[in-house]
Amino acid sequence: MQALVYHGPGEKKWESVGDPGIESADDAIVKIDTTTICGTDLHILKGDVPTVDEGRTLGHEAVGTVVEVGSGVRSVEAGDKVLISCISACGRCAYCKRGMYSQCLNGGGWILGHLINGTQAEYVRIPFADNGLYKVPEGLTDEQVLFLADILPTGFEIGVMNGGVKPGDTIAVVGAGPVGLAAIMTAKLHGPGRVIAIDMDGGRLDRAMKLGADTKINNASENAVEKVMELTDGLGADTVMEAVGIPETFELCTELVRPGGHVANIGVHGAPATLHLEALWIKSITITTGLVDTHSTPTLLKLVAEGRLDSTAFATHRYGLGEIMDAYDVFSDAASNDAMKVVLSN
Ligand SMILES: [Zn+2]
Ligand SMILES: [Zn+2]
């Protein structure tokens, strides 16, 4: 089969590799119907994720059709249309039993396209198939559910749920990339009073307004702290979400939050950020971090099936799977191409 293979920092190739096969009784083999590229894949290609070995097939988000299951798999069978979750989970360890699948102690967590071969290929082996695959409800298209593999549960669990969003709250989301937008879209499920999108890219801010933000602040030209204080009678935002992953934006979030509020960090950080405890100790704020557990995936699937959540607006570019090298070029220069998520169909 063909797969997108990582060959060390800056090097990738769409090439012929061996077909995956069942290795354990709880495995499934899934034919990829639709997949996408994640910001995390770009981090890997920059060499920021040294745990990825050369020769690894990338990708951790897809919709596919089951072609074969191991003898221990009970919940899916050949022919089923499935959403492949970015998180694998044994379902039995101490963390899985707490619903913290991202921390699975038995070889689960974020392993697809990281520690084992991923979804940017014609076929993929999915371990712990009973837990990592979700049957796609009848009548839904691949594109309607594709972004439930990662960005929507990430925005919802790590931004909205960790951030304690309540009806009437003022929410500020710093960073209007795919995950920031997913946080904006799913924040609406909790009935906030006002959602403020903050970014330095006008195109992304316009998309944020289309996906549910009420106010945009371009912090390339505007003072985000002053604007948010103005909008909140000098209090600050109830919940601030960090969806960039650099020290400056994290520190900005701690200036935007009101006393008693929440800072929910979603961004993937590669460098230390300063925690200004000299200013924050007195403010009773809560700071949360996390990697998505995907415990909300069944809920989000239901909301999509009921027409309450439409994530198709994330897709800006569409390609055949064999055109994945072109898709990477467009996605890695998202700003000039006005790209959000690319959809690759097999
Ligand atoms: Zn992803
Ligand atoms: Zn586990």
- Structural contact between residues 117 and 125, judged by C-beta atoms closer than 8 angstroms: yes
Among 54, 78, 76, 182, CA closest to 130: 76
Q: Quick check: pTM over 0.85?
A: yes
Q: What separation in Å is there between the alpha carbon of 86 and the centre of ligand 2? A: 14
Ligand minimally distant from the alpha carbon of residue 102 = 2
Are both 2-149+309-345 and 152-288 of the same fold?
A: no
> Per-domain residue ranges for the chain?
2-149+309-345, 152-288
Q: What separation in Å is there between the alpha carbon of 216 and the centre of ligand 1? A: 25
pLDDT of the chain along its 346 residues, tens only?
999 999 999 999 999 999 999 999 999 999 999 999 999 999 999 998 999 999 999 999 999 999 999 999 999 999 999 999 999 999 999 999 999 999 999 999 999 999 999 999 999 999 999 999 999 999 999 999 999 999 999 999 999 999 999 999 999 999 999 999 999 999 999 999 999 999 999 999 999 999 999 999 999 999 999 999 999 999 999 999 999 999 999 999 999 999 999 999 999 888 899 999 999 999 999 999 999 999 999 999 999 999 999 999 999 999 999 999 999 999 999 989 999 999 999 9
Q: Say whether domain 152-288 belongs to CATH 3.40.50.720.
A: yes
**Looking at residue 270, what is its pLDDT?**
83
Q: What separation in Å is there between the alpha carbon of 128 and the centre of ligand 2? A: 9
- Cα separations in angstroms, 106 against 94, 101, 102, 103, 297: 10, 10, 11, 9, 21
Residue appearing with tokens 């970015």 = 86
Contact residues for 61 (Cβ-Cβ < 8 A; gap 6+): 35, 36, 38, 84, 86, 119, 146, 147, 149, 150, 151
d(CA 338, CA 204): 8
* Ligand 1 ion: Cβ-proximal residues, 5 Å cutoff: 38, 40, 150
Q: What separation in Å is there between the alpha carbon of 19 and the centre of ligand 1? A: 23
**Looking at residue 34, what is its pLDDT?**
98
Q: What separation in Å is there between the alpha carbon of 227 and the centre of ligand 1? A: 31
**Looking at residue 335, what is its pLDDT?**
87
- Domain 2-149+309-345 in CATH: superfamily? Medium-chain alcohol dehydrogenases, catalytic domain (3.90.180.10)
d(CA 233, CA 242): 22
